[in-house]
Structure 1
Amino acid sequence: MKNGDARVFNTLHEQYRHMGLPTDLIDAQADFTIFNLNHIIGGLLPFKSPVHRLNFFVFNFIKRGSGHYTIDEQTFELYPGTVYFTNPGHYRSYEWQTADEVYLITLSESFLKENVHADIFEEFPFLLTETFPGRVLPQEVFLEFERLYLLIHQEYLSPSPFRKRIISNLFVVLLIKIKENFWLDYNPIYEGNRSSAIVKNFKRMLEKHYRELNEGKVERVFRVQEYAEAQSLHPNYLSNVIKAKTGKAIGTWIMEKTIAEAKSLLQNSSVSIKEIAYRLGFAESAHFSNYFKKYTDSTPLAYRKAHYMNTP
């Protein structure tokens, strides 16, 4: 299967059901799950998944197990004592040879923001890392993680009315331990090539979309939702990645591109302001004029008078 044909899953329940795996341990409505993977695929080993994309986070703690996983065509081996996680948006697949004791935690971005921290990616920017190669930890360090994820699993099975609150607080401790051991000085802006695949794809689509707007092939400016859907990402996740990687909000990218295109048309063409407004997706020229003035301190008409190049 080509990556472009990979299925996108919004929940673990949806993914496992599609793959024909048991879903008894997984609440279809839950935005947080934890279980021993052996209880799901123990009788199906060796097990290989198809290529897929997930719109949620996955944290894996391998006490006794082996295999490998592939993220965006990079393959990493999995050994006993390995900890790794993946975030939304990547093409991924995995193969397990053994999985005697492998704990898996999955959770949505909304769970993180609602139960952990509203500014989760500011406190834990490593969650936006491009690719996290699984790391084999010293036994004493892995045991620290094991104590935490087993406590989380215990609370996950508990009928306590404080269950979610306890889980979220324990998960914060888990994130702090990951940060302490792996990502103390991590800053996604400086990770590898600053123009990550997600950022590059967004910029490419931004340029293409405004070119098509100018050519009349499309009639309105894309929203964040549409840029996210083009990469099979949650809009909030795309916004977080763009802001972390570039230091600039996605709305700012869109605004700057709109203003740049407007200036170019005002300066280098005789197209009417009403037509420019229409090409840039504004229903009313007055709305366009207000928008332009807000970001340039000049009306479109005044800008044209000052900058129009009447070339032969």
Structure 2
Amino acid sequence: MRGCRVWGRLWGGCGQTPGVHAAAKGFGTEARHHQQPRGSSRQSGPLRDQPFPGLLQPENLSRPLVTLNKPQGLPVTGKPGELTLLSVLPELSQSLGLGEQELQVVRAPGKETSGLVLLSSCPQTASRLQKFFSHSRRTQRPTATYCAVTDGIPATTEGKIQAALKLEHTDGVNLAVPVKPPSRKDILEGVKRTLSHFRVMATGSGCALVQLQPLTVFPSQLQVHMVLQLCPVLGDHTYSARVGTVLGQRFLLPAESTKPRKQVLDEALLRHLHLTPSQAAQLPLHLHLHCLHLPGARPMAAPIEFLAPLPSYFSRTLQCLGLHQP
């Protein structure tokens, strides 16, 4: 499983393998680590898809953290016997020489989303990181940055997307459906108020490269939020059907009565992408967990960024559409 990296020493040590390097098969390119100077407000750019020039060994790390760059289409969990992220963790632990220490998933994108996976072999570290992520959500501080290519360009270059969402079981699939406005009863019955930040990084050929930072956690939140902006994520074969077009004007169709179907792209966009309609129907979701922000090893230490390069198909799409970071 290529693309696996291990860091030791985070908030003290319970691991025995500081500085371990690993080569794990099947996970594509390597995640990258970047330590940002304290007090810096620099936004990490989403367009870094260069090979990682060796494995860094950050100083002051002692509890093993493992990062993977997960391919699109690999689920985190599944039925017994299916290939999932969890199903490969025992083999990965053995290949890293962790012995009896079991790897736990701390953070991972969903099945159709590619990008950074954060694992830990220390239960205390995993628990502290989960508490950190929960606290960050409560204080509305983003810890994850996603990159997306959208079919359409948002009306504003940046802003917040807020929506109350619920899950509805339709034709054997759980779909996220907006609720407007939610009542107290709705909230008690599982409706959740969701929030994301977005920022348009580049535009071209009627599409946009968008940076997304979710401040809440809900299944398919980012896909639905971009549909509400009338700009579905490229390769979204679940929610893009909710955006209709009449005489070139886009509008939202009722989510409750709109069934998932393969995304339909206009002829001009197909030409830019050099795809046939049948090929476009197999296009992977262009949503990638690019960066995770973690606290430093000590209270006053600089924050840590873990970066995962873009998949090759994502980079190809950017090139075809002329989307380049300003």
> What's the TM-score once normalised by structure 1's chain length?
0.24
Larger Rg: 1
Larger proportion of strand: 2
TM-score, normalisation: structure 2: 0.24
Which structure has more relative contact order (CA 8 Å, sep 6+)? It is 2
